[in-house]
Chains A and B, each alone.
Chain A
């Protein structure tokens, strides 16, 4: 289980590095979404950063909640 998760993260990291290596020049793509993120001195980029961090913490909490729930379930039936 841990091995699977670890190899998944490693693959993702390698993928990101290879993508980043190709995207060295400044992102100048147009479009409503890009314009929005660049408006107001790019503060919305940081809003996005906070949303990502918050969702990461929430996923961690949900996972922990389910793991403890499984332990409680096993405890109720097992012994």
Chain B
């Protein structure tokens, strides 16, 4: 039971985030109104996605180092869970944009580039399904994963900062980002980051354990 403490921490933090996310006092600015509370649920989806994709690229590199199939199982599971959270983040973002930006799919660079980045990772998952030989699948997809991660960072971090974007945090320098968020919102936002990330790691660990059981005859 003692090794499950982080799962209990995730549940407690997320319960706090759900309750405090609706009760904490927030500044009402512009067209956002009360929808600024979406910050506690929309942004953590992206943190989860980046965490999962970072785990994925690390294990893809480790796979290419030693050609150990277990590393490939971890890399592909992380990419799958990361894409799941990416789609959730994109869906919540489009709903939010419908009522604040005046359009569900606008020509906003952050929205467009993020859609491209998620599609590249979906291509990774489709590519895996198209190769049946396990070793060949692992090698090809590990190389593709490096390409996908190398595009993820410029698409979602660099390009939206170089051009004008409606998205908060874009088109400004990251150095001032800590001054953009009100103090009362930070008391919920940071626990939300930790809680949601722990939840995504939990789901990811379940997927990995399931896949390892599925392939136990090959690993022995």
A residues touching B (Cβ–Cβ < 8 Å)?
43-44, 46-47, 50-51, 54-55, 58, 61-62, 64-65, 68, 71-72, 75
Contact = CB atoms under 8 A, between A and B. Distances in A.
Contacts of B11: 58
Contacts of A47: 18-19, 22-23
Interface in B1-46: 7, 11, 14-15, 18-19, 22-23
User: Interface residues of B toward A: which range?
Assistant: 10 to 19
A37 to B, nearest CB: 12
Contacts of B210: 68
Contacts of A55: 15
B179 interface: no
Nearest to A71: B213
26 contacts: A43-B22, A44-B22, A46-B22, A47-B18, A47-B19, A47-B23, A50-B18, A51-B15, A51-B18, A51-B19, A54-B14, A54-B15, A55-B15, A58-B11, A61-B203, A61-B206, A62-B7, A64-B206, A65-B7, A65-B202, A65-B206, A68-B206, A71-B213, A72-B209, A75-B213, A75-B216
Contacts of B15: 51, 54-55
Contacts of B18: 47, 50-51, 54
A63 to B, nearest CB: 11
B213 A68 contact: yes
Question: B-side binding surface: helix, strand, loop or mixed?
Answer: helix
A68 B203 contact: no
A72 B213 contact: yes
Contacts, number: 34
Contacts of B206: 61, 64-65, 68
Listed from nearest, the 6 A-B pairs whose CB atoms lie closest are: A47-B22, A68-B209, A50-B18, A58-B11, A71-B213, A51-B18
A47 B34 CA distance: 14
A58 B19 CA distance: 16
A46 B209 CA distance: 35
A57 to B, nearest CB: 9
Contacts of A61: 202-203, 206
Contacts of A43: 22
Nearest to B208: A68
Nearest to B213: A71
Given A51-B19, A72-B209, 11 more contacts: A47-B18, A47-B22, A47-B23, A54-B14, A55-B15, A58-B11, A61-B203, A61-B206, A65-B202, A68-B209, A75-B216
A62 B11 CA distance: 11
Nearest to A53: B18
A54 B210 CA distance: 23
A65 B210 CA distance: 10
Contacts of A68: 206, 209-210, 213
